[in-house]
A and B are shown apart, each in its own frame.
Chain A
Amino acid sequence: MSLISLEDVWVEKGKIKVLSGIWLEVERGEFLLVLGPTGAGKSTLLRVLHMDERPTRGRVLVDGKVAKFGGREVALWRRRVGMIFQDFKLLPDRDVLENVAFALYVTGMGRRDARRRALEALASVNMAHRRHDMPYVLSGGEQQKVAIARALVHGPELLLADEPTGNLDREAAEDVLQLIERVHREGTAVVLATHMWELAGRWPFRKVLLEGGRVREG
């Protein structure tokens, strides 16, 4: 049984069809690369997988059950998923450790345990030494590593990465990609959306080409 699957999913914004009849399955522990030019619908696809975007038509199945996109169901699903973005989305008024621990506070975990787990997550991305720094003093690559630590701190089954290297220089991008590879090796399913075609040759994983809101597996 797939971790999550989309069955004939459509997302329409007025007359614009952002996604048109998408059929997609994400298996546990797999690495799926979603490739496509800017505006192809990659981010929308990831938002549907994150239950942040409700399809206009079609069904989303989690563990084989139809998702209703209800309040609590969405929250519980997101606790099984980690997500990273091109613009990192770190909270500017909290230090690195609090940014990571934040993902655990919302699940009701106590401060001490949350901070201990956050420090472990930061150590796993080699950022523990910057735990007391504010996000604005970090480089782009470092901010993305903190965002990855936040996405991984609760031990997700699925990591969604939306253009994770889009704002990074070559060296920082390489660091982040290696980190994502490691996360996958450790058993987490990864869906990575990017417009960087060169990544297609880097990994021997399943690839999905998204064009004009339609899927072409390749």
Chain B
Amino acid sequence: MRYLVREVLRSLRWGGRATLIAVSTTCTALVVLGLFLAGTLALYRTSRRLMSKVHVEVYLKDGISQRHMAKLKRTIVRMPGVVRVSYIDKDSAAAEFCRTFGAELLSLLPENPLPASLRIRLKPGPYVGARARELAERISKMRGVEAVNYGGGWTETMERWLWMALGLDLLVSLAVGLAVASAVAGTVRLTVWARREVIEMMRLVGATEGFIRRPFVLEGIIKGLSGGASAALILTAGYKTFGHIVPLSTRDLCFILGGCILAGAYLGLLGSRMALEEVLG
């Protein structure tokens, strides 16, 4: 173990500037990834909060019988994706209106113009906007239904944005992964070349391939880990400064920082293995 540590320290010291470049490249790339992750998480949290409020409002025709309303309710509640259907009678609708907009407006009218409605809660999850639209289209054709409102297309637009952000995240993650692995691989490759005499000697005196490769793999992990930890520090400082404008919880922040550090270590490992495969076969 001590031999392993000594060899790694020897390599890192020898690498000097190359080590610094690998660590700073890793750090920069992971800061970019961290920012994208933070943006996506913020978008996800906001959209989830809004999506949980998605419901379909089915306005009923005036004069519809209680029996017909009950039948409609039973039919709708059996539809896929529907969690709950509640009946809002005309009086409750008026009370709700007054709570939101004030009582003056309604008091000017001779009678309550608001229709009774069925409020449908949908099962939360992906494509809730599209599901709400499909449900609205189906219900609008039913007898006794005056109109159906599912909140317009904003839910679908938001979901589209979320998917695009996730796609972009994936692309950025791939690019960052490639950049970090290449940066670490480059420096490990240099170290392997510089130490090929030692490697040859190790083989001559009976070192196993695992023993020969271990210091280089550890070197890669240390470089990646250092880059990841530096990125985590920068992101923490950024969050302390701009955290109030980004809707992220401490848990989200820990997820991003932990992700950066782990990604750094893993990409360092990957980079060193790439270099060893290339140079040592």
A interface, CB within 8 angstroms of B: 50, 52, 71-72, 75-79, 81, 83, 89, 91-92, 102-103, 105-108, 110-111, 150, 154
How far does the alpha carbon of A73 sit from the alpha carbon of B218 in the complex, in Å? 25
Instruction: Write out, one digit per residue, whether chain B residues 199-218 have a CB within 8 A of any chain A CB (1) or not (0).
Output: 01111111111010000000
Minimum CB–CB distance from B192 to chain A (whole Å) comes to: 15
Max chain A Cβ within 10 angstroms of own Cβ: one of B198, B200, B207, B211: B207
Query: B2 interface residue, CB < 8 Å from A?
Result: yes
Q: Is the CB of B197 within 8 A of A91?
A: yes
Q: A78-B204, A106-B202 are in contact. Are A111 and B3 (CB under 8 A)?
A: yes
Residues of A within 8 Å of B200, CB to CB, are 89
Q: A105-B3, A111-B2 are in contact. Are A79 and B204 (CB under 8 A)?
A: no
How far does the alpha carbon of A102 sit from the alpha carbon of B200 in the complex, in Å? 12
Q: A91-B198, A91-B201, A102-B201 are in contact. Are A110 and B206 (CB under 8 A)?
A: no
Minimum CB–CB distance from A79 to chain B (whole Å) comes to: 4
B206: which of A78, A91, A92 is its contact (CB, 8 Å)? A78
Q: Is the CB of B201 within 8 A of A79?
A: no
Max chain A Cβ within 10 angstroms of own Cβ: one of B198, B202, B203, B205: B205
Interface of B is mostly: helix
Minimum CB–CB distance from B12 to chain A (whole Å) comes to: 15
Residues of A within 8 Å of B211, CB to CB, are 106, 108
Residues of B within 8 Å of A106, CB to CB, are 202, 205-207, 211
How far does the alpha carbon of A79 sit from the alpha carbon of B206 in the complex, in Å? 5
Of all chain A residues, the one with the shortest Cβ separation from B200 is: A89
Q: A110-B2, A111-B2 are in contact. Are A72 and B198 (CB under 8 A)?
A: no
Residues of A within 8 Å of B203, CB to CB, are 52, 75, 78
Q: Is the CB of A76 within 8 A of B206?
A: yes
Instruction: Write out, one digit per residue, whether chain B residues 127-155 have a CB within 8 A of any chain A CB (1) or not (0).
Output: 00000000000000000000000000000
Q: Is the CB of B2 within 8 A of A75?
A: no
Q: Is the CB of B206 within 8 A of A52?
A: no
Given contacts A52-B203, A105-B3, 17 further A-B contacts (CB under 8 A): A52-B204, A71-B208, A71-B209, A75-B203, A75-B209, A78-B203, A78-B205, A81-B206, A91-B198, A91-B201, A92-B197, A102-B201, A103-B205, A106-B206, A106-B211, A107-B206, A154-B206
Pick the 9 closest A-B CB pairs, nearest first.
Answer: A78-B206, A106-B207, A79-B206, A103-B205, A75-B208, A105-B3, A75-B206, A71-B209, A106-B202
Minimum CB–CB distance from A4 to chain B (whole Å) comes to: 15
Residues of A within 8 Å of B204, CB to CB, are 50, 52, 78, 83, 89
Residues of B within 8 Å of A52, CB to CB, are 203-204
Residues of A within 8 Å of B197, CB to CB, are 91-92
Residues of B within 8 Å of A103, CB to CB, are 205-206
Residues of B within 8 Å of A77, CB to CB, are 206
How far does the alpha carbon of A107 sit from the alpha carbon of B207 in the complex, in Å? 6
Q: Is the CB of A75 within 8 A of B201?
A: no
Minimum CB–CB distance from A83 to chain B (whole Å) comes to: 6
Residues of A within 8 Å of B207, CB to CB, are 75, 106
How far does the alpha carbon of A74 sit from the alpha carbon of B211 in the complex, in Å? 13
How far does the alpha carbon of A91 sit from the alpha carbon of B203 in the complex, in Å? 13
Instruction: Write out, one digit per residue, whether chain B residues 7-25 have a CB within 8 A of any chain A CB (1) or not (0).
Output: 0000000000000000000
A150: which of B198, B205, B208 is its contact (CB, 8 Å)? B205
